[in-house]
């Protein structure tokens, strides 16, 4: 049955305590889930994922994740910044936004991703950690400081 009603807003279930990752670049929610490393064995709370949800910001669409009873460590937030540079992290306590910040992607990235060039010194078993310069943010592109290879597929090369 058709109606004239338009769904203006999609609201995921509110959470009492936990973290909301909002304004994720559209299409990246499942890659953020990979970073969170959630599996059947290590979680005992609820996660809601919104994919291709209308956004009021300049990009028309976004993804978002609400995860109960979990707060994120800084390494996790840094990796999220690599695939969703405009994401906001809100920490929910007793249903209210207790803290909120935007992830931050430095111009220089150390050790979060691997270089996609198999011959790069950073992939040769030497004690050389991968380092990159951010050459584009929308979409994300990183240049390896050792071999100059441009990494575009960051989500598949996260460490």
Ligand X SMILES: Nc1ncnc2c1ncn2[C@@H]1O[C@H](COP(=O)(O)OP(=O)(O)OP(=O)(O)O)[C@@H](O)[C@H]1O
Of 64, 63, 67, give the one whose Cα is nearest residue 18. 67
Q: Which does 15 bind (CB under 5 to 8 A by kind): ligand X, Zn ion, none?
A: ligand X
* Residue from 65, 72, 92, 109 binding ligand X (CB under 6 A): 92
3-state SS class at 113: strand
3-state SS class at 30: helix
Q: Which residue number, 64 or 84, has a Cβ lying nearer to ligand X?
A: 64
Q: Which does 20 bind (CB under 5 to 8 A by kind): Zn ion, ligand X, none?
A: ligand X
Of 32, 129, 144, 72, give the one whose Cα is nearest residue 152. 144
Q: Which does 26 bind (CB under 5 to 8 A by kind): ligand X, Zn ion, none?
A: none
Nearest distance in Å: CB 82, Zn ion: 16
Footprint on residues 17-56 left by ligand X (CB under 6 A)? 20, 22
Phi, psi dihedral angles at 36 (to 5 degrees):
-65, -25
> Which tokens go with 101?
């910040």
For the window 130-159, what string marks contact with Zn ion as x by the rule CB under 5 A? --------------x-xx-x----------
60 binds ligand X (CB under 6 A): no
32 binds Zn ion (CB under 5 A): no
Q: How far apart are CA 103 and CA 29, in angstroms?
A: 15
**Count of Cβ atoms closer than 10 Å to residue 85 Cβ:** 19
Interface residues toward Zn ion, by CB under 5 A: 115, 117, 120, 144, 146-147, 149
């Amino acid at each position: 049955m058709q109606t004239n009603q338009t769904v203006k807003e999609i609201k995921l279930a509110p959470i009492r305590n936990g973290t909301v990752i909002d304004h994720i670049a559209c299409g990246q929610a499942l890659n953020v889930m990979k970073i969170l490393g959630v599996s059947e064995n290590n979680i005992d709370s609820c996660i809601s994922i919104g994919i291709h949800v209308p956004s009021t910001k300049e990009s028309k669409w976004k993804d978002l994740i609400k995860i109960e009873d979990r707060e994120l460590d800084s390494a996790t937030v840094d990796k999220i910044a690599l695939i969703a540079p405009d994401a906001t992290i809100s920490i929910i306590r007793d249903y209210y936004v207790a803290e909120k910040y935007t992830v931050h992607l430095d111009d220089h990235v150390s050790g979060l991703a691997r270089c996609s060039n198999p011959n790069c010194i950073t992939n040769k078993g030497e004690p050389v950690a991968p380092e990159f310069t951010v050459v584009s943010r929308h979409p994300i592109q990183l240049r390896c400081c050792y071999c100059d290879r441009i990494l575009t597929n960051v989500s598949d090369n996260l460490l």
